[in-house]
Amino acid sequence: MRQALKARRLPVGMLFVVTMVTIVTGCGTLPGQEPSNVGIEVRNHTPTAITFEMQLPTQTLSISGSVMPGNSATILPLAGAGAKNRLDLDEKGCTKGVLLALDSGNHEVARHERGLCAGQTWEVGTRPSAS
């Protein structure tokens, strides 16, 4: 009888261990958590650092941070995208306005119409050709 009880507990214990290892090693998130590195990414193919603005119908938002030449960065993280009062991203994690890439002189280098969504990468500038 005792052996039968031990055999039943083993699968439950193993399930618990596998679940905890998966969460701790980053292969999963806890319920209600969003991955912190998910958002709208930009890859800068220009020779200069670029900054960003978003033009909305009634205002222009300055987006913090810059992306150096040859680098990529997340400029609009998804965390908080579900908030009803968020100005830059809608409930699906997509831009609500026109996104502008600006050089160090605040001149427009590129623009992306609304609808760029989390998980997508905006390629700014010309990619170097493969030789």
* pLDDT exceeds cutoff 60 at 67: yes
Q: Are residues 10 and 51 in the same domain?
A: no
129, part of any domain: no
Q: Are residues 45 and 86 in the same domain?
A: yes
- Is this prediction's pTM over 0.85? no
Based on the structure, what is the number of domains in the chain?
A: 2
* Residue 61, domain CATH: 2.60.40
Q: Are residues 73 and 92 in the same domain?
A: yes
79, part of any domain: yes
Quote the CA–CA distance of 112 and 27 in Å, as a whole number. 32
Quote the CA–CA distance of 49 and 58 in Å, as a whole number. 27
Q: Would you tell me how many other CB atoms lie within 10 Å of the CB of residue 50?
A: 24
Q: Are residues 96 and 117 in the same domain?
A: yes
131, part of any domain: no
Q: What pLDDT sits at residue 28?
A: 41
Which residues constitute the domain of residue 5? 1-32
89, part of any domain: yes
Q: What pLDDT sits at residue 85?
A: 67
Q: How confident is the model at residue 38 (pLDDT cuts 50, 70, 90)?
A: confident
130, part of any domain: no
Q: What pLDDT sits at residue 33?
A: 42
| Residues 46 and 94 sit within 8 Å (Cβ to Cβ) | no
